[in-house]
Amino acid sequence: MATNESCDQPLRDDSKKQIHSKFIQQELSAWKPILTPGWVIAIFIILGVVFILIGLLAFYASVHVEELVERYDVDCVPFTDKNKITKYIRDSSSNKTCTKTLRVQKKMKNPIYVYYQLHHFYQNHRRYVRSRSDKQLRSTKHEYETKECLPIATVNNNSKPIVPCGLIAWSLFNDTYQFSVNSKVVEVDRKDIAWKSDRDYKFGSKVYPKNFQSSGMIGGGKLNESIPLSKQEDLIVWMRTAAFSTFRKLYGQIKVDLDANSNITVVIQNNFNIYEFGGKKQLVLSTSNWSVGTNKFLGCAYLYVGGFSLVVAISFTITYVLKPRPLGDPAYLSWNKYPSIYEN
């Protein structure tokens, strides 16, 4: 076959330039451990001890988080309205006030975080997550950019934009809680509940709510039109959508200690409609430390891994004691035998 001329490039003559560097000859010095039984057992013992220590610490910390959880969505519907809940919850004139008493088992040190926890609320639904306009939230210049927000985009035959637009903002959680102990009001600090980066960069300090919840069906909470979005922390918290259908969101912080065996009375405004899709609502009071919460998973995971390492170490030791095997002489390993074939 005829060779194509253009392919007949002269071969690059590299052979003369060959560099005898350690890198090119793959002779860089490296750690070549010989894992003798002694080493392996020691490593497993060290791993086991370290993991068990960390695990105990994490476990201990998570046990010391105090948490009160109270489900209130069922009890807070008056008995006479139990079989017409939808009508009751949608009727803005019906009385939604509901009182609950929580008993503090162990002393709770401040700050105590107040969360609401929803179940079966899919903030991760595709159409829901996308139904927002980040540009509009950031600056007044983009007030009219509501295309992504449909169906909650404009009012008045498309002439006036809704700010903030979209399903997420529209469905803003609107239950409220008031706390008291022995009929003394316990203040809930509702500042600093949202991420600082959200307040500073994602929600504009010059963007004010407009035409919000003003027509059609009311989806949730209303917003004060004289406060810019960057200060509407409830909204900011709500709009950082949750990844799972059961989630907690921060409502505020209680900045006093609650003594053991005290009763804390909560007056709830049970406004938010989770009844039509079979949701659940809970109020959570929780202290916190570095272990984040009462979740014992982290501690247990460390304990399991540590325990496993120790078991392996022990079984290796037993095998080694009962049936020792002579080790080969490492001097016969190729890299020890021919230290550097390429040197010089």
Task: Determine how many CB atoms are found less than 10 A away from the CB of residue 152.
Answer: 23
Residues in the chain, overall count: 344
Q: Residue 41 belongs to what H/E stretch? A: helix 37-63
The pair phi, psi for residue 146, each rounded to 5°, is -115, 10
Q: Which is nearer to ligand NAG, 59 or 275 (CB)?
A: 275
Q: Indicate the SS3 state at residue 252.
A: strand
Binding mask 47-86 for ligand NAG (x = CB under 6 A): ----------------------------------------
Does 174 bind ligand NAG (CB under 6 A)? Our answer is yes
- Decide if residue 209 touches ligand NAG (CB under 6 A): no
Pick the closer one to ligand NAG by CB: 245 or 271: 271
Distances (CA, A) of 299 to 43, 55, 147: 21, 4, 47
Considering only residues 229-288, where is the footprint of ligand NAG by CB under 6 A? 271-273
Burial of 184-209, coded b for 16+ CB within 10 Å and e otherwise, reads eebebeeeebbeeebbeebbbeebbb
CB of 279 to ligand NAG, least distance (A): 10
| Interface with ligand NAG, residue 116, by CB under 6 A | no
| Shortest separation between residue 285's beta carbon and ligand NAG, angstroms | 23
Q: Kindly report the backbone phi and psi dihedral angles of residue 251, in degrees, each rounded to the nearest multiple of 5, phi listed first.
A: -100, -40
First to last CA, the chain: 45
* 81-83-86-92 Cα dihedral, nearest 10 degrees: -10
Among 82, 222, 240, 255, binds ligand NAG (CB under 6 A): 222
Binding-site member from 37, 220, 228, 307 for ligand NAG (CB under 6 A)? 220
Q: How far is the CB of 222 from ligand NAG (least distance, A)?
A: 5
The answer to whether 141 contacts ligand NAG (rule: CB under 6 A) is: no
Can you tell me which of 48, 161, 221, 306 binds ligand NAG, judged by CB under 6 A? 221
Q: Which is nearer to ligand NAG, 213 or 286 (CB)?
A: 213
Q: How far is the CB of 79 from ligand NAG (least distance, A)?
A: 21
What is the rounded distance in angstroms from the CA atom of residue 66 to the CA atom of residue 113?
10
- Min CB(145)–ligand NAG separation in Å: 26
Q: Which residues bind ligand NAG (CB under 6 A)?
A: 90, 92, 174, 218-222, 271-273
